[in-house]
């Protein structure tokens, strides 16, 4: 009796899967029609605000028991595959594969996108600037380690726009070929990852030497070639390099996030929940800090972040990076930026884009 019931339930699953497949193909047909209309009207085929709205609508209407994060992951791949029907999507990212930037690119664009690793942040900007890839993904800041200065410096030399942001929870796993702690004779990783796991390493592997390498991916490759080497890397590295997990989440601070930026040539349309980033330099005069912030305070615009970088052309001159809530097409945001411009030597809007969840 139990076997018959099990067979019946499996038949139901097969029938549901067939229905899902039919619906996916119906959806694909509509997507192709959308792609044709976008091409006729010369519109961007990748609209990050629209994607976020889809996720929020579906998760908001999810009554379970299918988990919300599962809904997002499933539809991430459905949307990724659909975009590949409209137009093959090539995305440059700071490589090599299996780094956290690679993971962020997959989180944003899915497995159907053509993700192309680059050796440096300037190389990612160059790929997008020359049109060899319509989008690029670069890290911009970490909640523990601060800003990625190379990314901010590139915005000082580039006209590219920020199209989206990705927040990725950084989870450091200890990986090796056989997954046994007692076999480890060396731990390899990027210096930042080793620093973020210092306490765990001191308590659990106090006498094991540590090897600073160029990336977590290179560490994973080393571990895949030598059973005595363990790598500190993300879970994607275990999959790509055939490693086993010795210990998950060995980072000292569990509240560890990295923010990544998607760069492109165009400004996305307003999504209703946006962020605008600007870069500017100011004239050296009394009260300049007040004049910088007052236009936003008077309009009740929330400032998310302010960062300064040396201009390099002259000592003690700085360029400022400012993030604010709202889209450049919103009147109050536009007015505040124009008022700020009046006390600036230079000002450039880096982009208005959907805020990450």
Domain boundaries, the chain: 2-79, 88-170+257-264, 173-247, 274-354
**88-170+257-264 and 274-354: same fold?**
no
The per-residue pLDDT for 174 is 95
User: 305-319 burial by CB neighbour count: b if 16+ within 10 A, else e?
Assistant: eebebeeeeeeeeeb
Contacts 24+ apart (CB under 8 A), 336-343: 336/295, 336/296, 336/298, 336/299, 336/301, 337/276, 337/278, 337/295, 339/295, 340/278, 340/280, 340/292, 340/295, 340/296, 341/280, 343/282, 343/283, 343/288, 343/291, 343/292
pLDDT tens digit at each of 357 positions of the chain: 677 788 888 888 889 999 998 998 898 888 888 878 877 777 776 777 777 788 888 888 888 889 888 888 888 888 888 877 776 789 999 988 888 899 899 888 888 888 999 989 999 999 999 989 999 999 998 877 777 888 888 988 888 999 999 998 888 999 999 888 998 999 999 888 898 899 999 999 998 999 999 888 899 999 999 999 999 998 889 988 999 999 999 998 888 888 999 999 888 888 888 999 999 988 777 777 888 889 999 999 999 988 888 766 665 577 889 999 999 999 999 999 999 998 888 899 999 999 886
pLDDT for position 313: 62
Q: Going by DSSP bridges, is the β-strand pair 318-325/303-310 parallel, antiparallel, or unpaired?
A: antiparallel
Q: Which of 260, 296, 320, 321 is catalytic?
A: 260
- What topology is assigned to 88-170+257-264 in CATH? D-Maltodextrin-Binding Protein; domain 2 (3.40.190)
**Burial (CB count <10 Å: 0-12, 13-18, 19+), residue 85:** middle
Superfamily of domain 2-79: Chorismate mutase (1.20.59.10)
Q: What is the pTM of this model?
A: 0.79
H or E stretch at 85: helix 68-86
Q: Which of 271, 270, 276, 279 is nearest to 324 (CA)?
A: 276
Q: Is 258 a catalytic residue?
A: yes
Classify domain 173-247 at the CATH superfamily level.
Periplasmic binding protein-like II (3.40.190.10)
Q: Which of 155, 258, 280, 320 is catalytic?
A: 258
φ and ψ of 116, to 5 deg: -115, 115
Domain 274-354 has CATH 3.40.390.10: no
Cα separation of 169 and 153, whole Å?
A: 24
Look up 245 and say whether it is catalytic: no
């Amino acid at each position: 009796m139990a076997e018959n019931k099990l067979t019946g339930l499996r038949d139901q699953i097969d029938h549901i899967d067939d229905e899902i497949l039919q619906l996916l193909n119906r959806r694909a047909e509509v997507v192709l029609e959308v792609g044709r209309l976008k091409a006729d009207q010369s519109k961007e085929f990748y609209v990050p605000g629209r994607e976020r709205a889809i996720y929020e609508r579906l998760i908001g209407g999810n009554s379970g028991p299918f988990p919300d994060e599962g809904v997002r992951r499933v539809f991430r791949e459905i949307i990724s595959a659909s975009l590949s029907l409209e137009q093959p999507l090539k995305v440059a990212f700071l490589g090599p594969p299996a780094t956290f930037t690679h993971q962020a690119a997959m989180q944003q664009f899915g497995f159907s996108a053509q993700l192309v690793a680059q050796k440096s942040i300037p190389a990612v900007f160059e790929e997008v600037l020359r049109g060899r890839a319509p989008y690029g993904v670069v890290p911009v800041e970490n909640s523990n380690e601060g800003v990625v200065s190379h990314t901010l410096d590139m915005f000082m030399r580039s006209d590219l726009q920020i199209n989206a942001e990705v927040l990725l929870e950084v989870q450091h796993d200890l990986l090796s070929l056989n997954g046994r702690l007692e076999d480890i004779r060396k731990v390899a990783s990027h210096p930042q990852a080793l620093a973020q796991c210092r306490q765990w390493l001191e308590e659990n592997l106090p006498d094991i030497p540590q090897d600073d390498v160029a990336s977590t991916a290179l560490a994973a490759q080393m571990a895949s070639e030598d059973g005595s080497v363990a790598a500190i890397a993300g879970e994607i590295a275990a999959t790509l390099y055939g490693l086993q997990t010795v210990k998950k989440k060995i980072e000292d601070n569990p509240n560890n996030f990295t923010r990544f930026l998607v760069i492109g040539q165009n400004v996305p349309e307003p999504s209703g929940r946006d962020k605008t980033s600007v870069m500017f330099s100011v004239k050296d005069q009394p009260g300049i800090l007040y004049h910088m912030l007052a236009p936003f305070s008077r309009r009740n615009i929330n400032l998310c972040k302010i960062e300064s970088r040396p201009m390099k052309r002259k000592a003690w001159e700085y360029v400022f990076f400012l993030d604010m809530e709202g889209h450049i097409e919103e009147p109050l945001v536009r007015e505040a930026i124009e008022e700020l411009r009046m006390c600036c030597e230079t000002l450039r809007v880096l982009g208005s884009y959907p805020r990450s969840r």
